[in-house]
Amino acid sequence: MTLVASSASKDSWYQEAAAAQIKAERLDRAELLNGRVAMLGFVIGVLTEALTGHGIVSQISFGVFG
């Protein structure tokens, strides 16, 4: 009886450890994607500033600040 309970306990621990590892990998991927999208947005903002002459703040605020 103790062996069965111990086996179930180990299985539960492995399942929880695997779930935690999967969650950590998903968070890492999400952060990587978020960083890449932020860099892309910044570059697009700088290029738009170079083409139009309006600064990034002006672009974001839709012309309210100038």
How high is the pLDDT of residue 1? 45
pTM beyond cutoff 0.75: no
Q: pLDDT digit string (tens) for 10-34?
A: 788 889 999 999 999 999 999 999 9
Alpha carbon distance 11, 15 (integer Å): 6
How high is the pLDDT of residue 51? 92
| Count of residues making up the chain | 66
Give me the residue spans of the domains in the chain: 2-60
Alpha carbon distance 39, 60 (integer Å): 16
